[in-house]
Chain A
């Protein structure tokens, strides 16, 4: 009796397993590089294991500091996808500028269209805006890059250049007025004289998982962006030490170290084969 149950159980499990596998294979035919599909890339903001929310207080157990974010925006750009066998797809640049804004939940989803079919195993992108685009005429700064539109507030007008990451909030550890902390990180390396460069490239592999882009099937890639690592990285940023870091001689080295920290905030989480 017991044996029978076990056998049935095994049988059911294996049926389930094969059924699952079969369905899996059925829905993703071999990629045809002549066909195009789309993919969604989600930048899911977190603070450690907690979801990132504005106006919520978090504690950084490493420093003992607490902080309540009131604004978070950052640019992602120049996205590339790579298959396991090394084929690289570079998203056309003007379709590859995204501004993630914590105030606008829809902005965390970046949709990429016209990707050649393939089983992608890695994504590369920049945090920030590439140097060249920072020097382009205004007519080549449309959409996400429009200084009077989507990118309003993400641009230094007195020192031509985009702000790559803008992270503001309050913290009892801040000695600034209103206990505010303000991190505006940018700097593309300078136009005629060299200066700091806070553009960072991020590469993320998906382990054994694949982003299976097919015509008519849009998978979604979920990346976790852990803002605890904004503080706790190779450099330990303490709000008590630096409540304000922008583009200034006094904090230039800190801005660069923060950029090194944010380069390592991103990690692979999961893929949904059929989107969402």
Chain B
């Protein structure tokens, strides 16, 4: 009996120790990244907040019939995109307007969606929850379901001190999970830190990239966070029975000059975020480069950088394209893509 007790005490100490050993989850800016845009003073990342956010992220309870979670369209191993779909699929297999954007390095993003319609990460999740072709649920009802859930009130208590489930806390927890999705350890990053070398092909690709791509895909985040018309041919398509033309940023500003402008996406992990463009029309990086060199269409809102000296597009030889693709693949961050922290349990 005594032995058993001692054993139990020892075991519990062991378990407790192990718990203590687990590193606390905190946001840390990668040294070579600029200051984040997200104001963490409102919502500091904690282990409990992150874990709650993670559970919510992968829980179908956010959707009307329990079938769709955030993770359905944002799969961690594809840099949180919906691998293989051009337009992402939501509830009842309904099509959405666009291709799901990756979730990574969101702390450095000022606006969200391809059109920038949401201007704070904390406000983001309401949109997919309430969209009738995504999760088709009301935010009010989601909170009600969570309040009645056997585990969530406790998890909210752990994360925020009391079991109260409010919209603010719900959204903050989701943000905490997403904010931790930081990709900053690709081969390119290691090269920047002097930890590895790029091969000749990749280096040549980097040089071409800096000359021909980096004015939009700028800096360590590989985007300047602007909206641009990159000359894609305009597509008319049926979206769940409605004849649709996606005018991009124009839907948010209602400004003619913003017609067909879309957010410049980051290129980190671009190798695994196919298909490409707001409507996922290109399946490969080769097709993307083909578009920039041969396929750019003129229109009143075409980005001036794609029409320099009266010439449409960006001139690229086959050799340059190969080198560019070799470089783009150095942006793949295996550590990020395989990180257990983000995988559904």
Q: Do A and B bind each other?
A: yes
Residues of A within 8 A of B (CB): 135, 137-139, 141, 146-149, 152, 155, 157-160, 187, 190-196, 247-249, 252
Question: B residues within 8 A CB of A139?
Answer: 42, 168
Q: Select one of B117, B167, B254 contacting A158, CB under 8 A.
A: B117
CB atoms of A249 and B140 under 8 A apart: no
Question: A residues within 8 A CB of B258?
Answer: 193
Q: How far is the CB of B185 from chain A (nearest CB, A)?
A: 30
Q: Select one of B119, B138, B249, B259 contacting A160, CB under 8 A.
A: B119
Of B67-75, B123-131, B298-306, which binds chain A?
A: B123-131
CB atoms of B167 and A147 under 8 A apart: yes
Q: How far is the CB of A190 from chain B (nearest CB, A)?
A: 6
Residues of B within 8 A of A (CB): 42, 110-111, 113, 116-120, 122-123, 126-127, 129-131, 138-140, 142-143, 166-168, 171-172, 247, 249-256, 258-259
In the complex where A138-B171, A147-B139, A249-B247 touch, is A157 in contact with B130 (Cβ < 8 A)? yes
In the complex where A137-B42, A152-B140 touch, is A192 in contact with B254 (Cβ < 8 A)? no
Question: A residues within 8 A CB of B138?
Answer: 152
Q: How far is the CB of A129 from chain B (nearest CB, A)?
A: 14
Closest 10 CB pairs of A and B: A157-B126, A148-B167, A157-B127, A252-B254, A159-B117, A191-B119, A138-B168, A139-B168, A148-B139, A195-B253
CB atoms of B250 and A192 under 8 A apart: no
Q: How far is the CB of A51 from chain B (nearest CB, A)?
A: 30
Question: B residues within 8 A CB of A193?
Answer: 249, 252-253, 255, 258
Q: How far is the CB of B45 from chain A (nearest CB, A)?
A: 16
Question: A residues within 8 A CB of B131?
Answer: 157-158
Overall SS of chain B's interface: helix
Interchain Cβ contacts under 8 Å between A and B, 25 examples: A135-B120, A137-B120, A137-B168, A146-B167, A149-B140, A152-B140, A155-B126, A157-B118, A157-B130, A158-B113, A159-B117, A159-B118, A160-B120, A187-B254, A190-B253, A191-B111, A191-B119, A192-B116, A192-B119, A194-B253, A194-B255, A195-B254, A248-B251, A249-B250, A249-B254
Q: How far is the CB of B245 from chain A (nearest CB, A)?
A: 10
Q: How far is the CB of A213 from chain B (nearest CB, A)?
A: 34
Question: A residues within 8 A CB of B116?
Answer: 192
Question: A residues within 8 A CB of B110?
Answer: 192
CB atoms of B139 and A160 under 8 A apart: no
Inter-chain CA distance A146–B143, complex, in Å, is 12
Inter-chain CA distance A149–B147, complex, in Å, is 14
Question: B residues within 8 A CB of A192?
Answer: 110-111, 116, 119
Inter-chain CA distance A158–B140, complex, in Å, is 16
Question: A residues within 8 A CB of B118?
Answer: 157-160
Inter-chain CA distance A247–B254, complex, in Å, is 8
Most buried by A among B119, B171, B252: B252
Most buried by A among B110, B140, B167, B250: B167
Inter-chain CA distance A249–B255, complex, in Å, is 7
B259 and chain A: residue at smallest CB distance: A249
Inter-chain CA distance A176–B247, complex, in Å, is 23
Q: How far is the CB of B278 from chain A (nearest CB, A)?
A: 14
Q: How far is the CB of B249 from chain A (nearest CB, A)?
A: 8
Q: How far is the CB of B234 from chain A (nearest CB, A)?
A: 14
B143 and chain A: residue at smallest CB distance: A148
Question: A residues within 8 A CB of B117?
Answer: 158-160
Most buried by A among B172, B254, B259: B254
CB atoms of B42 and A196 under 8 A apart: no
Question: A residues within 8 A CB of B126?
Answer: 147, 155, 157
CB atoms of A196 and B254 under 8 A apart: yes
Q: How far is the CB of A106 from chain B (nearest CB, A)?
A: 20
CB atoms of B123 and A158 under 8 A apart: no
B225 and chain A: residue at smallest CB distance: A192
Q: How far is the CB of A189 from chain B (nearest CB, A)?
A: 10
Question: B residues within 8 A CB of A160?
Answer: 117-120, 123
In the complex where A139-B42, A193-B255 touch, is A152 in contact with B122 (Cβ < 8 A)? no
B43 and chain A: residue at smallest CB distance: A137
Question: B residues within 8 A CB of A149?
Answer: 140, 167
Question: A residues within 8 A CB of B171?
Answer: 138
Q: How far is the CB of A104 from chain B (nearest CB, A)?
A: 16
Q: Select one of B119, B249, B253 contacting A135, CB under 8 A.
A: B119
